[in-house]
Amino acid sequence: MYVVIMGCGRVGSALVAGLERLGHEVAVIDKDPQAFRRLGADFHGRQVVGQGFHREVLVEAGVERAQAFAAVSSGDNSNIIAARVARESFGVERVVARIYDEKRAAVYERLGIPTVATVPWSTDRLMRMLMPDGVASAWREPSGTVAILPLPLHEDWVGHSIKELEGVAGCRVAFVVRFGTGVLPKPDTVVQAEDTVYVAAVSGTVSDVTAAAAAAPQEG
């Protein structure tokens, strides 16, 4: 696969190295020629100096034959403009842009540009290291508003229905992993021992949701 990367910072250069290890051909764009020093002597792809959202720069990088394009520079505006040009003007099939502002990321997703909202994704990774298992989210949509997380359940929830759990915890059960297999539950599905229950919850309510699930259900 031929991939064009805009931005040769730490993320861009690491992405280039990973793609080359997998045998893909890569071109890198950066406005600072000194940035290419991060690529190392083993880099065999194309280096293009310029603004990655300019058509002539993209053409020089070979975007017309690229199967994928990643905009990972330090500027949100540059990333989204370059990604849209690659998608809309050159028809690149796989396009992704790194965005620091998670609120703007949701807008760009609606425009058809997949984004990586760096701040909430990094926060989730740190949470996994700091917090007990099951508290941090396993996935978060680009705006950072909704998270999917494995719910730490009190043992007394066994035998109670998914509908009851949702009502008490204030969340929506997305799926259940049962005996190593994913299951899409119905409202009357009953929690079984050893189930791992994944729920969707609004970010500001995660603490309340986990606290409610960690407590024994009230009888009646």
Global confidence as pTM: 0.61
The reported pLDDT for the residue numbered 119 is 64
Separation of alpha carbons 177 and 166, rounded Å: 17
In the chain, where the domains are located: 2-99, 134-214
Q: Across all residues in the chain, what is the average pLDDT?
A: 86
Tell me the one-letter amino acid at 72. V
Q: Which CATH class for the 2-99 domain?
A: alpha beta
What is the DSSP track for 70-123? EE-SS-HHHHHHHHHIIIIIT--SEEEEEES-HHHHHHHHHTT--EEEHHHHHH
Question: Could you name the CATH architecture of 134-214?
Answer: 2-Layer Sandwich (3.30)
Residue-wise pLDDT for 45-75, tens only, equals 999 999 999 999 999 999 999 999 999 998 9
Same topology between domain 2-99 and domain 134-214:
no
Q: Which residue, 120, 73, 80, 75, is CA-closest to 96?
A: 80
Mean pLDDT of 159-188: 93
